[in-house]
A and B are shown apart, each in its own frame.
Chain A
Amino acid sequence: MAPVMSRVMSRPQPRTALVVLACVAACVAPLVLPDLTFFMRMVMAAIVVTGLSMLMGYSGQASLGQGAFVAAGALTVAVGTTRFELPPLVALLAAPLVAAGFAALVGVPLLRLHGHYLAFGTLALLLMVQAAMSTFDVLGGALGVSGIPPLGVGDRVVVGQLPYVYLALGCLGLVLLLSHRTVHSRFGRGIQALAGSQTAAESAGVPVNRSKVTIFALSAGYAGLAGGLSAFFTPYVSPDSFPALESFTYVIMAVVGGLGTIWGGVVGAVIVSVLLQVLNTVSSQPGLPPTAAPIMQYATYGALLVLALLFMPRGVVPSVDAGVGRLLERARVEAPG
């Protein structure tokens, strides 16, 4: 993808217009939507998936256990505020750092694995984090951690859901900007070379292991940030808050949106979340059996994943991008000047 920012100055781009439109829509939506919880969950998923999409798309590694790092961030806030009485803001800032640190620590041995092995290794990590959370009382034990204070500085605390939603949107913006900067940096080019061929990248002077651990830690940091936000939004953290299915959902969102694109994570998160919300509404209609909801959820997840991978393997964003590009090209050829 060409650097968007430099071209903005010369003439208006359809892509820039889309981005502006998306920003406006994101800022207005919380004011008109009746269900802020749904919107908040979607924004947090978008933060996690942006990191996962970067990890999967640019470094060619899959993580089926991204929830482990969401949990690390949420636990930082939950345990930090209730047990160590950290100021909420400090806990929130610490959440992505702790998650990234945790990822860097486990990443050193874990990232020696590739492909299937890493996918299963990260899934195993998630299950072990869950087990540790329910075993150790410091991490909440089987009951979980409750009584997380609201976010605020000193006596001024946040009331209601709306400020959290805007905070999350701000974080999403930061995360997108950071991803953009990362991908177009020297480090980002090294990571992309690594995905193509590890040996070739190594011979070209890319520090392979360090780069892999860094990108893993960065994507974990995003997940931790989302986890920290979620712990304030829903002030209760337990092992059941991070089911494996949720981590699979992140993968589905990343794949549907388009791996290795900055906006793919957001687009995937929005498409999958909205679809699920619609199905949820449909399946909770009176007259349907109570099993309708899980059946629809699983069927949608599965069908989406299979169909997206088989028929739109590059995801929505690159496919649409290419389609629009072709249209523009044709328009320019037909009407020169």
Chain B
Amino acid sequence: MSEFVTYLVTGIALGSSFALIGSGFVVVHRVTCVVNFAQGSLAVLGAMLSASLLAGRLPHVVGEAVTVVVCGVVGVLVGVIAIGRRGTPPLISLIVTLGVSMVFSAAIIWLWGQDPVSPPGLDGFATILGAEVERQRLLVLVVTLVAFAALSLFFSRTYVGKALTASASNPFAARLVGIDVRRMGLVAFGLSGILGGMAGVLIAPSNALSFYSDLPMALGGFAAAVFGGLVSPLRTLVGGLGLGVAGQLTAGYLNGSYQTEVALLLMIVIMIARSRSFAHEEAK
């Protein structure tokens, strides 16, 4: 039983990073119907940048904050490329962002090399319900929860948030009432950059990232976002945590090397099971 609790706790801590990346997918897809393949690359960029900034140049918190802001700006640039041209269909935008993520890989190898990088974070372990968890992982969980709470408040309470939702649900009507749908799309991309940067900054201290990590991160995040139908932040959070727990349970009871495959299989099963409701969303 205590074993089970250990897996549960570590799984939730691990899953929060899936959820954080997934939230970036959700924010962009909700507003623009585009899936931003570069979401994983934004996280890698955040990890690399924070490692460089924190290496004696800036103190903690300031270094991380600068990184997240820079990632937000980069996110807007990704948006300009992906949706800047009018009439680009979402599937083509997906492939454009795939191209952008490759440019990111080139830039990251050029600036930081090919080796994995791990910026400093919180050290040591904390004991929860008898399970030892890295304190950095707990920090990820806490930040994720705060980020999701802020996100849902932003979407439901603020003017910009409501405009974002309006652009998503009916672009034509939103334009009629004076919302610049394209600018809202760029805001969403900027927000996804911020979320991606946060994910990178937080994950990298306990899990070194290299240019090669963008694909697994993007897949994990997308898998979490699929639980929320790519639109619901709350269900993405649940999905991410669920994926983390499922991965830990497989690692604990079956075999550690199947973790990713279980996540992928779950993602496919969920997608197929929900394919009917997805089709409805697309038809709208």
Q: How far is the CA of A117 from the CA of B103 in the complex (A)?
A: 23
Supposing A291-B114, A295-B109 touch, asked if A113 and B271 sit within 8 A by C-beta, the answer is yes
Considering only residues 179-219 of chain A, those with a C-beta below 8 Å from chain B are none
Q: Establish whether residues B222 and A120, one from each chain, have CB atoms under 8 Å apart when the complex forms.
A: yes
Say whether A127 contacts B261, CB under 8 Å: yes
Say if the beta carbon of A138 comes within 8 Å of chain B: no
Q: How far is the CA of A125 from the CA of B272 in the complex (A)?
A: 13
The stretch of B3-11, B151-159, B161-169, B275-283 that contacts the partner chain: B275-283
Which residues of A have CB within 8 Å of B253? none
Q: Does A251 contact B (CB under 8 A)?
A: yes
- Which of under 10, 10 to 19, 20 to 34, or 35 or more describes the interface residues of A? 35 or more
Complex contacts, B130 vs chain A, CB 8 Å: none
Interface centre among A62, A117, A248 (most CB of B within 10 A): A117
Evaluate contact between A114 and B279: CB separation under 8 angstroms: yes
Give the interface SS of chain B, mostly helix, strand, loop or mixed: helix
| Closest B residue by C-beta to A60 | B91
Interface residues of B in 71-120 (CB under 8 A from A): 81, 85, 88, 90-92, 94-96, 98-107, 109-110, 113-114
Closest to B93 in A: A309
Verify A251–B272 contact, CB threshold 8 A: no
A110: which of B272, B279, B282 is its contact (CB, 8 Å)? B272
- A121 and B275 CA atoms in complex are apart in Å by 12
Chain B residues positioned under 8 Å from A303 (CB to CB): 99, 103
Is A17 interfacial (CB 8 A cutoff)? no
Complex Cα spacing A120 to B215, Å = 11
List 21 A-B residue pairs with CB atoms under 8 Å apart, sorted by A's residue number: A113-B272, A114-B275, A114-B279, A116-B35, A117-B278, A120-B219, A120-B222, A124-B264, A127-B261, A291-B113, A294-B106, A295-B106, A295-B109, A302-B101, A302-B106, A303-B99, A305-B99, A309-B88, A309-B96, A310-B81, A313-B92
Query: Hey, which bits of chain A sit against chain B, CB under 8 A?
Result: 60, 62, 64, 109-110, 112-117, 119-121, 123-125, 127-128, 131, 135, 244, 248, 251-252, 255, 291, 294-299, 301-306, 309-310, 313
